[in-house]
Chain A
Amino acid sequence: MATLALALADCLEVLDRDPAALEVCIAKYPGHQETLDTLLRLAAALKREPAEAVPRDGFLDSLKSRLMNEFPANNTRGGEAE
């Protein structure tokens, strides 16, 4: 399994640099080609269709305001950039 894990990591890094290099990369690992091919296509699907996780409207803005208000009390070194 360690060999497969390394082969998978290697091919993923190769594909990050050259998405067209799938066949070339899996050819380096005879005996694992079918498994690698499937797992690499699955990885490609994960990257191609990113999951959405969206907070409630206004949550991120509200949290930012809270953080900005708390900032001076927690950081007394230095000053504002403005």
Chain B
Amino acid sequence: MADTGMPSTTEDILVERARAGDRQAFGELYDRYAALTYRYVSFMVSDRQGAEDLTAQTFLQALQAIDRYEERGIPFRAWLLRIARNLAINNGRFHRNHPCGNNGSEDGRSIPSPELLCEAKQLGDEVWWAVRHLKGDQRQVIILRFLDGLSYADVAHVLGKSIGAVRVIQYRALSALRRALEDGDLGHSRVGARRLSRSA
């Protein structure tokens, strides 16, 4: 898994330097969070170009707004991802249900095909494919919690919800994933559900 860049004293220093106009510090923050931001938005939009546009807009807005960023217990990455989410919603790019058959793949090709899906050998592949079919908030909670490793408090900040609401959404999301795998309603065989029940 990519380094999710846990907030640290080093990060606080970088943010302060960037706020003071230090271009190199902003560049280091970008290096830490560009891939994470791209991955997050790629689960919100329908294609690779859209994900790239949204990533660029997120950092451009962060660049313009960083002198207004106040830590106050909110890590920089949570602040950044909230910008991304708001941009996606405001620009009408956010897909409440991710389009089936489009994985943001190479050159915008729509993969994996049903045939390829059926050939998926890893439970992880099947589960992440199912994640793309979750409802908007459910999908985002799964991404932020299990892929990006954000705390409940940070996820709550990104989504603008309470921690309790995030916990409920997390439960609903995992339950929906389980049903999808068990029912095979993504075009999969039931191998995913069987493997899930046996895997540690």
Contact = CB atoms under 8 A, between A and B. Distances in A.
To the question of whether A and B form a pair in one complex, the answer is yes
Interface of A: 1-2, 4-6, 8-9, 12, 38-39, 41-51, 53, 55-56, 59-60, 63-64, 66-68, 70-72, 74-82
B191 interface: no
B20 to A, nearest CB: 4
Contacts of A8: 167, 170-171, 174
Interface in B8-67: 17-27, 30-31, 34-35, 38-39, 42-43, 48, 51-52, 55-56, 59-60, 63-64, 66-67
Contacts, number: 145
Interface string B102-118: 00100000000000000
The 10 nearest A-B residue pairs measured at CB: A49-B124, A78-B21, A78-B20, A5-B171, A53-B42, A51-B128, A46-B146, A53-B39, A9-B167, A71-B23
Given A49-B123, A80-B23, A60 B152 contact: no
21 contacts: A1-B172, A5-B167, A5-B168, A8-B170, A8-B171, A9-B167, A39-B174, A42-B178, A43-B146, A44-B199, A46-B124, A46-B146, A47-B146, A48-B124, A49-B125, A51-B131, A70-B60, A70-B63, A77-B20, A78-B20, A81-B17
B27 A63 contact: no
Interface of B: 1-2, 17-27, 30-31, 34-35, 38-39, 42-43, 48, 51-52, 55-56, 59-60, 63-64, 66-67, 104, 122-125, 127-128, 131, 142, 146-147, 152, 167-168, 170-172, 174-175, 177-178, 181, 196-197, 199-200
Residue with the highest number of chain A CB atoms closer than 10 Å, among B48, B63, B122, B152: B63
A14 B181 CA distance: 25
B62 to A, nearest CB: 9
A2 B122 contact: no
Nearest to A61: B34
Nearest to A7: B171
Contacts of B127: 42, 45-46, 49
Contacts of A56: 48, 52
B170 A5 contact: yes
Contacts of A70: 60, 63
